[in-house]
Amino acid sequence: MPIAMSHTINLSVNGERHRVVVDHYDTPLLYILRDDLKLKGTRFGCGSGQCGACTVLVDGAAIRSCETPAWSVEGRSITTIEGLGTLARMHPLQSSIIEQQAGQCGYCLSGIIMSAAALVEKDHEPSRDKILAALDKNLCRCGAHNRIVGAIERAWREETRS
């Protein structure tokens, strides 16, 4: 007999409230975002917070959703890549990444953009060192690092010019 132990979790994601029922109390936020809310831009990379592919914002701070139990962020404001910007209306970080062609496979990019978003929210023109520190928990395997850092450096400058 399956053990029926369901838990209700209330989340606020990209400005919308969601009520989700899970059967494992420790279900990480990542799986709820992807499977229940169908927000697939947040990606599984390692499941242990070592690669940053699953990064989202919680009250403006970058966290790894693969190792964050969903219950621990109830009532907080969660932002995913879909909430940052859309194809039609990109966030300056997203459009700068495209402008600089700062990616190859792109699997790591949404997590990197979210890590950078936490930084530029507070500091529109961060120094290179601050960008590197903000990306300390993100990995890229294709070798697009320099373009990515360059795109983050330029994102706000070009935004304020236009």
Partner 1 sequence: MTAAQPLPWSLRQNPRLGQWVSFADAGIARVFTAKVELGQGILTAMAQIAAEELRLPLAQIEVVSGDTRFSPDESYTAGSMSIEIGGTSLRIACAQARQTIVARAAAQLEVDAARLSIERGAILRDGKDSGLNYWKVAPEIDWNQTVDGEVELGEPSAAQYIGRSLGRVDLPPKVTGAAFVQDLELPGMLHARVLRPPTPDAHLISLDRSRAEALAGVVKLSVSGDFVGVVCEREFQAVKALEALSTGAKWAGEESFAIDQDWKRSLPRLRSIDSHIEHGEAGALPAGVKRVSATYSKPPLAHASMGPSCAVASFEGDALRIWSHTQGVFPLRAALAKALRIDEQRITVMHTQGAGCYGHNGADDVALDAALLAREVAPHPVRVQWMRGDELAWSPFSSPMVVKIDGAVTPDGKIADWSSEIWSGPHGRRPNRHGVELLAAAHIDPPIPFAEVHEDMNLFAGGARNSEPTYELAHRRILLHSLPGLPFRTSALRTLGGYANVFAVESFIDEMADAIGIDPIGFRLRNLSDSRARRVIESAVQMSRWEPNEPRGTGRAAGIGFARYKTTAAYVAVVANVDVAEQVRVTKVHCAVDAGLAINPDGIVNQIEGGIIQAISWTLKEQASFGPSGVTTRSWDQYPILRFDEVPAVEVRLIDQPDLPPLGVGEASCGPAGAAVVNAVARALDRRVRDLPLTREQIIATTA
Q: Which residues bind partner 1 (CB under 8 A)?
A: 1-6, 22-24, 27-28, 31, 34-35, 38-41, 43-48, 50-51, 53, 81-82, 85-87, 90, 94, 97-98, 101, 103-110, 113, 132-133, 135-136, 138-147, 149
Residue type, 7: H
Please give the Cα distance from 159 to 104 (Å, whole number): 23
Nearest distance from residue 147's CB to partner 1, in Å?
Answer: 7
Yes or no: say if 126 and 118 are a contact pair by the CB < 8 Å rule: no
Nearest distance from residue 91's CB to partner 1, in Å?
Answer: 9
The position carrying tokens 């966030």 is: 91
Nearest distance from residue 156's CB to partner 1, in Å?
Answer: 17
Is residue 154 within a helix (H) or strand (E), and if so which, with residue range? helix 145-161
- Residue 35 vs 125, nearer CB to partner 1: 35
- Residue 22 vs 57, nearer CB to partner 1: 22
Which stretches within 40-136 are classed as H helix? Answer: 81-84, 92-99, 109-122, 128-134
Other CB atoms within 10 A of residue 6 CB: 9
Nearest distance from residue 73's CB to partner 1, in Å?
Answer: 16
Please give the Cα distance from 96 to 98 (Å, whole number): 5
Nearest distance from residue 12's CB to partner 1, in Å?
Answer: 19
- Residue 76 vs 147, nearer CB to partner 1: 147
Residue type, 152: I
- Residue 75 vs 88, nearer CB to partner 1: 88
